[in-house]
Amino acid sequence: MSGLERRTFLTRGAGAVAMICGLSTHDLTREDVRKADAAAQAAARPKSLPQDRVDKLSFSTPQPQPGGQVREYWLLARSVAWDPVPTGRDQWMGHHVPRRRRFRAFVYQRYESGFAQPLGPPQMPGPTLEGEVGDTIVVHFRNGDRHFGQAVTLHPHGVRYTPDYDGAYMGDFTRAGGFVAPGEEFTYTFECVPESVGVWPYHDHGPNHVLNMQRGLFGALIVREKGARKPDVEQVLFIHMLMPSITGAPVAFQCFNGRAFAGNTPTIRAKVGQEVALHVIGLDQSFHTFHVHGHRWRDSGGANVDCPTVGPNETLTARWVEDNPGRWLYHCHVSSHMEAGMAGWYLVDP
């Protein structure tokens, strides 16, 4: 590796935080990860006064439009032991996967009102947040982490928000919502405006967001037109790599939703005649392609496609009315990704 390619870390004065410099984190070492965690643990809210007039602005909390509603969610960020290949094998090729796979993931988990009880197990991705145009999405967010010891946030795409609800750590310019330390809570309010219609990612944007996103702090947000019907089959598929420096495993896992290899990645089921929508969201630093055997669909420009590209934090929706029963594969068509687990089953009943 050349000197230019090597990762370096810069730290900033008081409230130091690690910035991982360089475009690729593919070759980060475990030591690099440890340093980034240590720097994030040392990060703090800014103590100095705002420096520019834009930093002195204050904002009110948006309310729903007439006829809209408040959609409330309670989300806890927590660590969890995670196995990218729970069955231990690749059901497509029938081979076994190396044993050392389990690692400490960092995920969003949905709770009942007031954090009374979890609604389902901790998962990768986190819960899908849904709203219609005119609604507000209110996320009561708690950093329940007891393992990583660092601030995290929830930063959405697609919806409208004020700087307070951006959920972005910005060093000396960090506002409310951009730094939620372990044990703290913050309530975000996002507006579903007409331009929000679509499927978007949300993710950590705290002081260690590059690593924590890759550990699992991500989820999807869906905004529909008012009164719009959900497709019969709707599946969110985050496409991403779990790298060895994060997992401690000897190999990288190329994943859909934190799992690698068919039989571990989501198995999607549909019936002939159903309207199907697969929302594929790029999460890591690679460009991927999304291929579904036996199927083709139209892209936003109207062209017929069966293997389009999806880039970092971009959403691709594959949508069709099902007409082709049987067992099908879906996978990324970058060969090295496909071979490292980026594949799954799509099962269509007649």
Residues in contact with Cu ion by the rule CB under 5 A: 288, 332, 334, 337
CB of 343 to Cu ion, least distance (A): 10
CA-based nearest residue to 132, from 61, 228, 200 = 228
Q: Which is nearer to Cu ion, 79 or 285 (CB)?
A: 285
For residue 33, CA distances in Å to 9, 23, 82, 214, 348 come to: 11, 15, 18, 11, 42
Smallest distance from Cu ion to CB 29, Å: 23
Phi-psi region of 263 (alpha: psi -120 to 50; beta: other; left: phi over 0): left
Q: For Cu ion, which is the closer residue by CB, 125 or 231?
A: 125
**In angstroms, what is the minimal distance from the CB of 332 to Cu ion?**
3
SS3 of 280-298: the string is EEECCCCCEECEECCCCEE
Nearer Cβ to Cu ion (20/340): 340
Least Cβ distance, residue 288 to Cu ion (angstroms): 3
- Measured from the CB of residue 334, what is the shortest distance to Cu ion in angstroms? 4
Residue type, 98: P
Give Cβ neighbours of residue 305 (< 8 Å, ≥ 6 apart).
Answer: 296, 297, 298, 299
Residue with tokens 């959405």: 156
Q: CA-CA distances (angstroms) from residue 257 to 184, 214, 239, 246, 340?
A: 27, 11, 7, 16, 14
Rounded to a whole number of angstroms, the minimum distance from the CB of residue 99 to Cu ion is 24
Residue 168 vs 334, nearer CB to Cu ion: 334
Nearer to Cu ion, 152 or 338 (CB): 338
Q: Please state whether the peptide bond connecting residue 250 to the residue before it is cis, i.e. omega within 30 degrees of 0.
A: no
Classify 70 as helix, strand or coil: strand
Q: Considering the complex, what minimum distance in angstroms separates the CB of residue 284 from Cu ion?
A: 9
Largest Cα span, the chain: 64
Sheet of strand 343-349, all strands in order from the earlier edge strand to the far edge? 268-271, 343-349, 326-331, 291-292
Shortest separation between residue 253's beta carbon and Cu ion, angstroms: 12
Q: Which is nearer to Cu ion, 40 or 124 (CB)?
A: 124
Q: Which is nearer to Cu ion, 6 or 293 (CB)?
A: 293
Distances (CA, A) of 284 to 9, 24, 203, 211, 243: 20, 10, 12, 10, 10
Query: 162-196: string of b/e by CB count within 10 Å (b at 16+)?
Result: bbbbbbbbeebbbbbbbbbbbeeebebbbbbbeeb
What's the rounded Cα separation, in Å, for the pair 177 and 164?
6
Tell me whether residue 159 or residue 310 sits nearer to Cu ion (CB atom). Answer: 310
Of the two residues 152 and 281, which places its CB atom closer to Cu ion in the complex?
281
Smallest gap from residue 48 Cβ to Cu ion (A): 43
